[in-house]
Every structure is written in structure tokens, then in C-alpha cells.
Amino acid sequence: MIRAAELQRARFAALDPLLPPPSALPPGDPVEAAGAAGTIAHVRFPAGSWQRLWSPAQLQILSAVLGRNAGAGMNALLSAWRERITLAGAETDSSCTVTWPSRDVVVARALLDHGLTPQLALAVRAPAPGRAHAVPGVTVRESRRGDLEEIVELRYEELRYTSYVGHGVLQPGARALLAEEVSRGLQFGGRVWIAEEEGVTVGMVTGGKRSPAPGDALAGRVRPGEWGYLGTLAVTAAARGRGIGRALTAVAHDELFSPSLTGTFVSYNPANPLSPVFWHRQGYRPLWTTWAVSPATALR
């Protein structure tokens, strides 16, 4: 296992210089096949929780150390995982996921062969101030307390759109959950920038700063240091195509930039017809991709 971990560390470094060293396998059910090893973590989200807006009720999350032949190792682990799903039976409202370096096309082939599809990309951008972009008649400013209702409506519209092209889930109480999340984010250092036209809110972007810490979701995904991040970007349907999203991100990048910044990151859905092209034009490129398949599909 130690040898396999060393091989994976060297392989990741050769694949992408921005990848941090691989973390140790997290707790979970062990699985081994063809010299590869992994763990399967089981996560459940209660009904009515914030996570259920973006996730099924149950997740099975595979983490892996693949050794020398990465493609064959992933293929073997996925076959072993499929057998476990068969024995346990497929649960409704559940998903099996693997998060893997985006540039590892050898492993991507194995994931595709087992029916997994790209669901989420974590993309990074070199530290740099924003490139100013003005839209005639549109003003970008930081949010105020009185903007909460407009922010929530834009977040809800973004969730509705995501429900068509990704993993967003419209459910009763969604607006209240979004309002709680916006308030919590602002309380703990998050920021929101608003785009206004003639006093009407037409767009918004959330952001802030984070540093990876042991045990959090960012650990093992980006290199140590202070990172800026952009969260939800939303522009009203009637105002799209005029550069308002670009103006918002330029201001956010400028506000978040500092000489000590390691970089900025954002997550987007690769299947979204708008997100990938937009974020790549803002200087981002994929670092990690989360792949997913429902157990019912995996059993076919």
C-alpha cells in the first residue's frame, strides 16, 4: 500500500503541477482489487436539509489509491463496487461518486466505461486582480442588508436552472433554506456583490476567502495557503448575454486579490451549457472532476 501511495503521489505531480499531494484514504468500507485499494464512505442527508437542494438523500463516495496501472486499478475497483451494490440492492434517491484529477484521462476512460458521468468540476485560477469590465447602465456594488430578498430570488433561479442541467433539486422550503445559507455565509465572512440596472437587481455573485484545513472539504483538493473563491453566480434571464456576469466576477476577483493569495477556485457543472465556457474565459481551468452514477444505472 505504501508503494502504491508513492506511485500515486508521483503520478499526480506529473499529471498536474497544481495538484496537492494525495491525502491518505479517508475512513470507510475498504475495497481492494487488482493491486488498487480504496474506501467507500456512506453519507446520508436528512429531509429538509440544505444539502438536499444539491444532492440525493444518500451518497456512496469512493476514494482510491490505484498504483502503477491506474486505469486497470480504477476499472477493478469499480467492478468490485458494482458487485457490492448488487448484493445490497440499489436504493432510490442515491448516487455513487468519485472525485479524481481532471487531467487523468486514463482513469476517466474507466469511469465512463462504468457509466459514471462528470457532475462537478473544481476549477482554479492563478492569483490576479480582476480585469475591469463595464456594462453601460449597470453598477456593481457589495450587498447590503436590504438586498437579502433579491439575492435569495437569484439563488432560487440559479437552483431552478441547475435542476434542469445538473444536480439541483427544487423542493418545498427551498427559498427558506437559501435565505438561511445566505445569512450564514455573510455571518462567517462570505461576501455578495450585486449588479443593478436602474435600481433593479439583475445579477449577483458570492465569494470569500478560505484556507484548506485538515478534515474539511477543501483539504487535499488545493495546495496550502489562502484561496479566494467564487460561489454562486446568477444573472436574470432577461439580462444575460450583455457581460454582466463578467463585470461581477471582475469586481469579485479584484476585491479578493492580495499579494499573499495562492489562487481562486470555483465549482461548476460540466453539463451546464453556460458555465464551462464562461469560467474558462475568466481564467479558470479544471483541477478535479466529480463523477457520479445512480446505483440503478450501475446495476444495468
114 and 132 co-located in one domain: no
State the amino acid at position 207 in one-letter form. Answer: G
137 and 87 co-located in one domain: no
115 and 164 co-located in one domain: no
113 and 151 co-located in one domain: no
DSSP SS3 for 199: coil
240 and 217 co-located in one domain: yes
- What integer pLDDT is reported at residue 89 of this predicted model? 52
pTM over 0.85: yes
CATH number of domain containing 207 = 3.40.630.30
43 and 155 co-located in one domain: no
274 and 197 co-located in one domain: yes
Written as nine digits, the cell of 76 is 477493478
225 and 241 co-located in one domain: yes
98 and 170 co-located in one domain: no
99 and 165 co-located in one domain: no
107 and 194 co-located in one domain: no
DSSP 218-273: TTTTS-SS-EEEEEEEEE-GGGTTSSHHHHHHHHHHHHH--TT--EEEEEE-TT-S
Counts of helices then strands in the chain (DSSP H, E)? 8, 11
Q: How many domains does the chain have?
A: 2
Per-residue pLDDT of the chain (300 residues; tens, 9 = 90+): 668 889 999 999 999 999 999 888 999 999 999 889 999 999 999 988 988 998 889 999 999 999 889 999 999 999 999 887 765 555 678 889 999 999 999 999 999 999 999 999 999 999 999 888 999 999 999 999 889 999 999 999 999 999 998 888 888 899 999 999 988 888 888 899 999 999 999 999 999 999 999 888 899 999 999 999 999 999 999 999 999 999 999 999 999 999 999 999 999 999 999 999 999 999 999 999 999 998 766 544
Is 133:247 a contact under the CB 8 Å cutoff? Answer: yes
Q: Domain range holding 167?
A: 127-282
- What integer pLDDT is reported at residue 299 of this predicted model? 43
CATH number of domain containing 69 = 3.40.630
DSSP SS3 for 68: coil
Question: Which region, left, alpha or beta, applies to residue 82 given φ > 0 means left and ψ of -120 to 50 means alpha?
Answer: alpha
96 and 178 co-located in one domain: no
> Which H helix or E strand runs over 87?
helix 70-88
